[in-house]
Amino acid sequence: MGYPDQRFDVNLSILFTELPLLERPAAAAAAGFTAVELWWPWIETPTPPQVELDALKKALDDAGTQLVGLNFYAGQLPGPDRGALSVPGTESDRFRANIEVAADFAASVGCAALNALYGNRVEGVDPQVQDTLALENLVLAARAADRIGAILLVEALNKPESPLYPLVGAPAAIEVVDKVNAATGLGNAKFLLDLYHLSMNGEDLSQVIKAYAAKTGHVQIADNPGRGAPGTGTLPLERLLDELKDAGYAGWVGLEYKPGDRPSAESFDWLPASARAAG
């Protein structure tokens, strides 16, 4: 048990950001990792030129890294936005334009998990209108994911850092997962369980794991406080990951933490080099 018993991947949108995007897969590989994940890398456009998609695929392939998680277009992230799919108008349109682009790219690199961030509440817009739009868009995304043999992830964030995001607890995200699965009949919508976000909400992490491990499709970690590497805060991450494994979760654990004021490559001293390559 413990960290060496997990399958870790590195989030290249929060780690190795001191490097250009196309150099990050090789940097992760040099640090000993064979699996990576990404937020949607082109925050300005849901439909980047094919040459840019091809360049990212080549960078992943050349580094020998497997992309195991990819966000759909989510607006300005990092930045003020927390997704686009529930935001009426231009942002919803951009999300829809991105669905098949993201799914096709994921298929081209063998990525089997696509994360759809819900989006913030918009002042002056009825929340029910947003939730209806969100379900429509999530159904489209779930069908696109199913087409390529992937799962659709729905993530809960934390209220202190994302006060306008409506899915700020595990139950809220699970409710959306269940609605999407009921609407599609596909069963491929899953919960993205981020231990940092849930801890920031003050949730009972062991209870969340017990209740929702069976509906969890991906896990992300960072310590709290600070969103740093394991060991920089007070979360018992090693124990919690063991609890997840005991509850039947056998998927990826994304390292979605800030390296602090040191280079990303120096932030992995908590994890033995022999445990970094995913089997």
**Active-site residue numbers?**
155, 256
Q: What are the residues facing 254 on neighbouring strands?
A: 9, 220
Q: What is the CA 158 to chain-centroid distance, rounded?
A: 14
Please say whether the beta carbons of 87 and 119 come within 8 A. Answer: yes
d(CA 66, CA 173): 27
Sequence-ordered strand ranges (E) for the chain: 7-11, 35-38, 66-71, 113-115, 151-155, 189-194, 216-221, 252-255
Give the contacts of 159 (CB within 8 A, at least 6 positions apart).
Answer: 165, 168, 200, 201
104, amino acid identity: D
| Closest to 174 measured CA to CA, from 153, 193, 191, 151 | 191
57 burial class (0-12, 13-18, 19+ CB within 10 angstroms)?
middle
* CA distances from residue 37 to 1, 112, 220, 231 in whole angstroms, order as listed: 24, 11, 10, 22
Measured at the alpha carbon of residue 215, what is the angle toward residues 66 and 153, in degrees to the nearest 5?
45
What secondary structure letter does DSSP report for 65?
Answer: P
Angle in degrees, 0-180, between the axes of helices 127-147 and 170-184, rounded to the nearest 10: 60
